[in-house]
Amino acid sequence: MKALARDQSICVLATITGRQPYCSLMAYVTNRKCSEIYMVTHKQTQKYKNLIENPAVSILIDNRDPSPRSTTLAMTIEGVFQKIIDLSKDKKVRQKLLSAHPHLTEFIRHPEAEVFQIRIRSFLLLNGLTQASFEDVSDSVY
């Protein structure tokens, strides 16, 4: 499960606005232990407002390939949004994001750009159509 998260670079981030889900396609990177996922957004966005109001998130990561779809891996990660307060960590995460996603250079350097982390609580991996595996990592992460 952690290998899938480390190997991919795009996910769908689901936040909550009121009682409605709100999905955003996001570029991301993980830390080495895969206990945290890092992303960047601008502070004026709906997703950022949602994260501030309700830090609970769900993330979808997959390795879909046009054929055969029956072998696709799809993983749901449950986690919690946290601001990155430490300036040294913020700088390292920005560099890691830029290294993995150079097309985000202007976006990340914008004054409204906010790098943040998702602390992972659990993984649910669907392998193909019917094989599911679940791992609760909340005790080992916190």
Residue whose entry in the numeric block shows the structure tokens 């005790």: 139
The rounded Cα 37 to chain-centroid distance in angstroms is: 5
Query: Count of domains in the chain?
Result: 1
pLDDT digits (tens, 9 = 90+) for 94-117: 999 999 999 999 999 999 999 999
Considering the chain, what is the average pLDDT of its residues? Answer: 92
Q: Report the pLDDT value the prediction gives residue 46, as an integer from 0 to 100.
A: 96
**Helix residue ranges per DSSP H, the chain:** 2-7, 46-53, 87-100, 105-109, 138-141
pLDDT of residue 129: 75
Q: How far apart are CA 58 and CA 6, in angstroms?
A: 17
pLDDT value at residue 140 = 57
What's the CATH number where 19 sits?
2.30.110.10
Burial class (CB in 10 A: 0-12, 13-18, 19+), 8: middle
Whether the predicted pLDDT of 19 surpasses 80: yes
Domain range for residue 36?
2-141
| Residues 24 and 37 sit within 8 Å (Cβ to Cβ) | no
**Which pLDDT belongs to residue 67?**
64
